[in-house]
Amino acid sequence: MRHSDVADQLDEVLVTEEQMLARLDELAREVERDYVGSVPLLIGVLKGAVMVMADFARALHIPVTMDWMAVSSYGNTTQSSGVVRILKDLDTDVAGRDVLIVEDIIDTGLTLAWLRENLMSRGAKSVRILTALRKPDAVVSDIVPDYLGFDIPNKFVVGFGLDYAENYRHLRDVAVLSPHVYADGE
């Protein structure tokens, strides 16, 4: 889905599909250098990270394995609650593995702070974080991504996997959701 298909529901485009793919390619080169001699386990955080994972993993020229977790901190609103629940756990034993968490966006970082601790407590050898996007509120947590796509302003965005009430995930670009869309629904 493209911006023009839902132009009345969106404000500006912050990151185009082309910009995102080019940046993920650069990050893939960094990851290849950092994981020489290791087969990292990429852990995607469902559902938002599906597009990041698909494009980032395919840009890599080293062996990796992939698994998925679903955690919930948001519900259908646009505010972070700080409450994290596991909705779907890993199939993989992370003990001794070099884990790379693949995320769509860091807002407060509360979700990732919790997830990093959770994976370390299961005996992961290392836990690093790749995120496509980061918002300014991330400075309040101690979460610093090892691999960052783009810093964006503190606006609610959709597309490239990011949703509002499960909509817009298949939008190719990252765009600001027009506030009238969620103002009407609350």
We find the least distance from the C-beta atom of residue 38 to ligand IMP, in angstroms, to be: 26
Cα torsion 78, 160, 85, 137: sign: negative
We find the least distance from the C-beta atom of residue 98 to ligand IMP, in angstroms, to be: 22
Contacting residue, 94, 106, 132, 171, with ligand IMP by CB under 6 A: 106
The rounded distance, in Å, linking the Cα atoms of 49 and 169 is: 10
Contacting residue, 19, 80, 167, 178, with ligand IMP by CB under 6 A: 80
Stretch that binds ligand IMP, among 11-19, 58-66, 89-97, 107-115 (CB under 6 A): 107-115
Q: At what angle do helices 50-59 and 17-34 cross, to 10 degrees?
A: 60
Tokens of 186: 């609350």
Site for ligand IMP in 115-154 (CB under 6 A): none
- Residue 92 is a binding residue for ligand IMP (CB under 6 A): no
The radius of gyration of the chain's CA atoms, rounded to the nearest angstrom, is: 16
Active-site annotation, residues: 107
